[in-house]
Structure 1
């Protein structure tokens, strides 16, 4: 046109122009809209300067809001979160407590779990950032990707859709090819995940069918769970899967894990499945698989089930071979009758104990309250102010309110207070003075009960437990057997002891033999001991010497764990008197010991240290923590 001398025209326009040719420009276009540099009809009214909040949005008290920002419909923001300037949240997002966002854009149905951080990032639809994870300036995470706990996406990094970043990972380069699926379906104790996240109903159904096939098809399988809504949905889905696999399903309803264990053995089932909420990871559900002895599945069987599930390598039953469902109501009563046989009921009733129960979920309250009232106990059921009864409590709820629980015990002249987790396998106690009894002190209390019961001179403790158990055994003419820290190994050791009883067959499950994983039986045994001895709990605890045990967690990439362990064998600090390799590496010194244990679920090591004094315990733990850090190759992620 220029060669032909054609005229060239131009004009000046007063409107807004933005060529979105890069991801950076995409973000800046959103910022310009929030700054009103361009007129765009947003699906929300501007409530005040720079604040657009659509309908059906919930913002909890204590959330910090810094305009300008836009929040689309159906989004939930929990307390103590921070919504910084130039944040754009898509529809139906879920932000847990203490989440922090700034200059970031999320699409629909994004989940940001507790303490997660996004700065100048773009998260596409269905992304889930787990607790403590972070994404920084210019990072982009594609549809359906999962950023696991404490993982970090460095500035400018692109994560393609449907990828998984493992916990603790630091991503320094774009992730395009391959899926970073979890290392294993099973964790330390069953399969855990969020309903419609990792745990969909379809996946739960497949797990049920795979489990039925692995056990032999037309065999009895017991199932139960707690009262939490997701648990009940998953229980129904797993039940359908079991039936489709041809299993004879025995549903014992809303119950606790110790009841499930005894039901599997007494009903002569080939296995059991227990589904419950996770108090340690709020919003998560756990699907637990038990063998015919009521114990956690062995590691080899977990791997077998996992391979069947992942490959979808199992047949479904023909229509004439489908399983059938049998429902047994009130099986909890059979468990209660079993544990009451081993108690001095009259002594407990005459003691007329006053007990405080800290916010039990409904299934636990429905079971515990009648049981304890039958033993003539006066009960105070404590819930935090302005909180209703919930089927799923955060473990943080307990720690936030434990001072109030302690004060309530003292004010109410209560003999004993307690909190149990939803599965009723773990417990925290309070004595009549409001002092907390948890962790190693609680385990030492159970060891003392076992040794003084006269039933067996032996008790089992994991390799990571305090040497105070040996001291208690020495004073009570007992023996301590050490196991690996993995729950199944611990349970197998206990089984070895209990099956030697002449009154039991090889499959029987005796609750009193498994106090460490049965909080209900432990509670009743403690009441029994206090009633018969005429002692208060604080007096009883004086028989336990002081415990100086410390623990730390040190990050270590998966690929370096083996290297660190090999070098630690050769370069362990100081001159140890003995080194054990039962589980991890345990170094014994004249004044204490240290254990270096690779975490089976996370890219980290757990360091334990115990000494004759607190200072020695701290020193040993710190020395080995620094040693693990120094043995890592800083140039490798």
Structure 2
């Protein structure tokens, strides 16, 4: 049996301690991570080991040589360019001559490899994935298995709303050599994202071996510290020292400890160290080799790498110091702070919690370091929520914040790229926009600045100007003191979550690109685009029909004065009569109905200041919003374009399929989010044809115009159109569920009974004449439950049944 250790990783999330060493060489208990893996393989009789390298390969080859010192035979394979986890092993194909093991070089585990290999042979699989349970699986690849132990589905690093199990992929595999025939040679290929899904589609058997042995992915500073605690607490089988000094205290050779020093176990002190008088080394601390710690210093639950010098009276609490760090007298370093290699921190400085200091920095005396110095993330709330980026003006969102955010976004796009930026008519939005532009320009981005524009116009401007992306700044619908910032991709759709994560990462790492002075580009200030928008809408609207038929008069309501003006100008050209206008703070159907009767308007329409949301009110005072509005616009689209395809969220009523079937149309279900629908719609030309789904559901002005045009063409009213829509019985509730329990809840729901299930967005359970959809909330410890039945009572009973199931699992989890 042979094994391949993947050791090409940079360990970017662990920087600055991985700046000058590859992640597999990061010391755990003063021994490189990869050495723990080599010892594990040797323990199970695997001595022919290949190691794939890329980042700083010489650090690994010079340390291990041919492996004879460890009783193994090592073979090295260096990647020329990143080829993904699966692609990285292609160069090892000549080395492999039978069943082999793949293991990551950056984990700590005492996995019984013999059991995993035996399970692989029993299942006769092409690949066996070693799986484990994880309470919070969002940072890992989650896996679903069937009742026979074979893989049923994958999702790599899901968002909270995508979690369907607490079973995760450890990155340890037992493979057959035929696997090489399925790896793409021409582009990067990842095991979980690319290779395994392809094998699954082709019908090759993939087995899942669930282990309850210890496994820890050393991916973050927190997991690095916690893994050391687990080793000290004997949760993992590990031989990390021989010379005992008191209770579970390990001391290296030639180390001097003064008589008045206090050493509290469990802890590890390396070789050739000095511990001064009155110094306290607390539990769960690791001191590297050749460290010099002066008197009256206190170190608790901290990790010092080799050759550190700690001055008199220093205090370390849950911190990590890289190699050759010097702390002068009375320096304090607090929880989760990380100081990179060869830094010098001068007297009486304070390093606050969660701070990262890049290698070879000098911090002056009496400094209070409360933000990262150059690099790597601090503990932080996420910038982006499920609804985008929001914050209070001059509290969360300051001009400085906006400029840094602009630099981060520009760094993601790259120098020389073009973007569209726009805002609503508020002064706060303009303030943020121009501060954001300064950050973009510092990176060398070409800025197309639109003075004031609704969101649909901004989306279309991105496509019109062929920009790489776009940003729109607007007042929040929740509060006038808050702003919302929307990011668009090159199609004008909401930017993907991966873009948000990249922006967030660069923002907190402060890893901004900076261009030369001559590369700073002019701002392209674009005037009012309303004329262009109107021209395109006129080309696609039958104004003759509107003017000739009995066109309904409209009471226009909005919470934006500029939006009322925008609609007024457009409807004047389209020939749509406006029975009245009403500026409100928020939508209130009762107050609006009284005004409508007073003005004798035929139709009431509320359009929010962003220009994306349209709410209608019929003559009976019924509010047409949400699901009913989606059904209405879908019906109008199917009447206008028979046999068309409609993109629908997973939580929409199944009556939609029945409406589509009557008109020969089809329904494509996507995740229950505006982003998912827009992403699908924006793949096509949103200017194509006289009517389409984008116009009806995401451009409020165009939607209202097309609905009125439809009413005129068919000489009907909104009330009559609504009569053609079928009744539906849809329910939605949210249930509290801790983040630690969500994965287990979803796994149990997924594994029970034989009902048909889908994993597109959470878990959708299809019953005979009803369905249930369970979706984890992206930001809160909640599970959203949607049910639909033939009757309201049936939907409510289903809701009650699944709420009780979830509560039972949550109570059971809490008890353990």
Q: TM-score, normalised by structure 2?
A: 0.51
- Mark the CA change 1:482 to 1:414 in structure 2 (over 3 Å): closer, same or farther: same
Give 1:213 deviation, angstroms. Answer: 2.1
Trace 1:104-123 onto structure 2 (pairs within 5 A): none
Counterpart for residue 664 of structure 2: 477
Kindly indicate whether residue 558 of structure 2 is the aligned counterpart of residue 558 of structure 1: no
* C-alpha distance in 1 between matches for 2:458 and 2:407: 20
Q: Which protein, 1 or 2, shows the higher relative CO under an 8 Å CA cutoff with sep ≥ 6? A: 2
Q: 1:201 to 1:559 in 2, by over 3 A?
A: farther
Matched residue, 1:4: none
Is 2:384 the partner of 1:203? no
Report the equivalent of 2:764. Answer: 586
Distance 1:511 1:190 in 2: 26
| 1:225 and 1:232 in contact (8 A); partners too | yes
**Is 1:610 aligned with 2:802?**
no
Question: In the aligned structure 1, how far is the partner of 2:692 from the partner of 2:441?
Answer: 29
Alpha-carbon offset, residue 373 of structure 1: 2.2
Find out whether 1:529 has 2:710 as its counterpart.
Answer: yes
The reply to whether residue 353 of structure 1 matches residue 558 of structure 2 is no
Per-residue CA deviation, residues 570-600 of structure 1 (Å, 9 max, x unaligned), is 34xxx56411111101111123111110011
Cα displacement (A) at 1:325:
0.8
Q: Which residue of 2 aligns with 1:428?
A: 615
Which residue does the alignment assign to 2:700? 519
Partner of 1:635: 814
Counterpart of 2:159?
none
Q: How does 1:67-466 map to 2 (within 5 A)?
A: 183-280=381-478, 283-350=481-548, 351-383=550-582, 393=585, 397-398=586-587, 401-454=588-641, 457-466=644-653
User: 1: CA distance between counterparts of 2:730 and 2:744?
Assistant: 27
Contact map agreement 1:188 1:601 (CA 8 A) in 2: yes
How far apart are the structure 1 equivalents of 2:792 and 2:532?
A: 45
Q: Aligned residue for 1:123?
A: none
Q: Alpha-carbon deviations, 1:110-129, whole Å to 9, x = none?
A: xxxxxxxxxxxxxxxxxxxx
**2:325 alignment counterpart:** none
2-structure distance, mates of 1:532, 1:509 = 14
8 Å Cα contact 1:359-1:381 kept in structure 2: no
Could you tell me how far 1:319 is from its partner in structure 2? 1.7
8 Å CA contact 1:592–1:612 kept in 2: the answer is: yes
Aligned residue pairs total 444
> Residues of 2 paired with 1:242 and 1:355: CA distance?
42
User: Cα offset for 1:559?
Assistant: 2.1
Aligned to 1:538: 719
Counterparts in 2 of 1:227 and 1:510: CA distance versus 1, 3 Å: farther
Assess, with a 3 A threshold, how the Cα gap between structure 1 residues 237 and 563 changes in structure 2: closer, same or farther.
Answer: same
Secondary structure at 2:682 match in 1: helix
Q: Is the 8 A contact 1:577 1:590 kept in 2?
A: no
C-alpha spacing 1:509/1:297, structure 2 compared with 1 (3 Å): farther
After superposition, the Cα gap between the structure-2 partners of 1:162 and 1:344, relative to the gap in structure 1 and judged at 3 Å, is farther
Partner secondary structure for residue 451 of structure 2: strand
Check 1:363–1:579 CA distance in 2 against 1; reply closer, same or farther (3 A cut): same
In the alignment, the residues of structure 1 paired with residue 734 and residue 763 of structure 2 have an alpha-carbon distance, to the nearest angstrom, of: 15
- Cα distance in 1 for partners of 2:787, 2:478 equals 24
- Identify if the C-alpha distance between structure 1 residues 182 and 277 changes in structure 2 by more than 3 Å, giving closer, same or farther: farther
Task: Tell me how far apart the structure 2 counterparts of residues 344 and 594 of structure 1 sit (CA, whole Å).
Answer: 42
Match of 2:799 among 610, 621, 633: 621
Change (3 A) 1:636 1:311: farther
Task: Tell me if the contact between 1:294 and 1:509 (Cα under 8 Å) persists in the aligned partners.
Answer: no
Task: Name 1:601's counterpart in structure 2.
Answer: 779
Contact 1:222 1:260 in 2 (8 A): yes
Runs of 4+ in 1 over 3 A off after TM superposition: 176-183, 280-283, 380-383, 508-514, 633-637
Conserved? CA contact 1:261–1:509, under 8 Å: no
- Aligned partners of 1:208 and 1:238 also within 8 Å: yes
Distance 1:220 1:328 in 2: 14
1:511: how far off?
7.0
- Provide the C-alpha distance between the structure 1 equivalents of 2:504 and 2:410, rounded to a whole number of angstroms: 13
CA contact (8 A) 1:511 1:521 kept: no
On the 8 A contact 2:456/2:699 being kept in 1, the answer is: yes
The CA distance in 2 between the partners of 1:565 and 1:183, in whole Å, is 25
Q: String of CA shifts for 1:478-510, please: whole Å, max 9, x gaps.
A: 0000001233322232234x35x9x97xxx999
Q: Is contact 2:540–2:690 with CA below 8 Å preserved after alignment?
A: no
Alpha-carbon distance, 1:280 to partner: 4.0
Asked whether the 8 Å contact 2:631–2:656 carries over to 1, the reply is yes
5+ long unaligned stretches in structure 2 = 1-333, 337-351, 356-377
Deviations 1:230-254 (A, max 9, x none): 2121111111211222111111111
Name which one, 1 or 2, has greater alpha-carbon Rg: 2
Conserved? CA contact 2:418–2:467, under 8 Å: yes
Structure 2: distance between partners of 1:410 and 1:474: 38
Change (3 A) 1:511 1:225: farther
For residues 616 and 424 of structure 1, the distance between their equivalents in structure 2, rounded to whole angstroms, comes to 37
d(CA) in 2 for partners of 1:288 and 1:622?
Answer: 37
Closer/same/farther in 2, CA of residues 372 and 562 from structure 1, 3 Å limit = same
Name the SS of the counterpart of 2:641 in structure 1.
Answer: coil
What SS does the corresponding residue of 1:320 show, helix, strand or coil? helix
Aligned to 1:197, the other structure's residue is in SS state: coil
Give the aligned partner of residue 167 of structure 2: none
Q: Say whether 1:491 aligns with 2:689.
A: no
Instruction: Note the alpha carbon deviations across 1:52-97, whole angstroms, 9 max, x for none.
Output: xxxxxxxxxxxxxxxxxxxxxxxxxxxxxxxxxxxxxxxxxxxxxx
Q: Which moved more, 1:341-350 or 1:578-587?
A: 341-350
Decide whether aligned partners of structure 1 residues 181 and 517 sit closer, same or farther in structure 2, where only a CA change above 3 A counts.
farther
Of 557, 561, 567, 2:748 maps to: 567
- Normalised by the size of structure 1, how large is the TM-score? 0.65
Cα 1:469/1:280, change in 2 over 3 Å: farther
